[in-house]
Amino acid sequence: MRRRRGGRMVLSALSGALFLGGLGLFSYPLLTDVYTERVVQDQLAQEFERLEVAAADTWQPTMAAGSPLTRIVIPTLDVDTIVVAGTTPAALRAGAGHYPDTPLPGTVGNVGIAGHRTTYGRPFHRLDELQVGDEVWLLTPVGDHRYVVTDPPDDGNCVPTSAGAACITHPRDWSVVAPTDDAMLTLTTCHPKGSAAQRLIIRAALADSHPPGTRAPQDSDRSADV
């Protein structure tokens, strides 16, 4: 009788542990999304509004990892996220980070931004839905820059998807963020969703730049129409 009773207690404890473990795995993505969107992003937005920068060339050398760098706005995907400096795991808990060896938004070269597709606000969750011609705005204290999505990089390493403007490559394919002669933007995220086995890539070209705050009235108008 004692053995049976002890066996039932062990089974009950094991069942409870498995239940709690499953609950934790299920709730973890949701909890990180809520924390990033309602705590981290709110704090970063306040810091971003207080930034006073005279010029991009004097700004980048003073930039600290994890500090707000730009606001990325993708109208067709309803994305509006503060991007921080750096792509370390700690920095990317903000949702999206700027590759440190790439130029700042609006300047010549290949601006690289990595973002989560799941967890931590998942700003790039629907990145694969972007089409050629869609707009991506990078708002900074020194200017608002409008990029237009182009065809995927034609380097043989990144394989185009069957739909949209994205391509898929190896997670350690750094050629996608290599320097370019033109002002370009490269967005990277994990593929498939929930896995880091591959990388999904979107490439966009700088269309035009405007004084800081140019994009804000358009955001307000779009919100008012909803």
CA distances 201 to 17, 157, 158, 221, Å, are 39, 11, 8, 30
- Phi first, then psi, for residue 102 (nearest 5°) are -110, 160
Question: How does pLDDT run across 174-220, given as a tens digit for each residue?
Answer: 999 999 999 999 999 999 988 889 999 999 999 999 999 988 644 44
Q: List pLDDT tens digits, range 30-39.
A: 667 777 877 8
- Residue 46: phi and psi, rounded to 5, are -65, -40
pLDDT per residue over 120-140, tens digit each? 889 999 999 999 999 999 999
- CATH fold of 33-225 reads Sortase; Chain: A; (2.40.260)
pTM for this predicted structure: 0.82
Distance CA 143, CA 213 (A): 8
What is the rounded radius of gyration, in angstroms, for the C-alpha atoms of the chain? 21
Residues in CB range of 225: below 8 A, 6 or more apart = none
Q: Helices (H), strands (E): how many in the chain?
A: 4, 10
Region 140-144: mean pLDDT is 93
pLDDT higher than 80, residue 12:
no
What pLDDT, on a 0 to 100 scale, did the predictor assign at position 28? 47
Residue 19: predicted pLDDT = 40
Phi and psi of 170, rounded to 5°? -70, 145
Output the pLDDT for position 223.
38
Q: Domain spans of the chain?
A: 33-225
Q: What pLDDT is stored for residue 9 in this prediction?
A: 55
Is 143:55 a contact under the CB 8 Å cutoff?
no
pLDDT of residue 58: 80
Task: State the chain's mean pLDDT as an integer.
Answer: 84
Mean of pLDDT values over 50-61: 81
Give 66-96 pLDDT, tens digit per residue.
999 999 999 999 999 999 999 999 899 999 9
CA end-to-end span of the chain, whole Å? 67
Shortest CA distance to 116 belongs to which of 92, 134, 99?
92
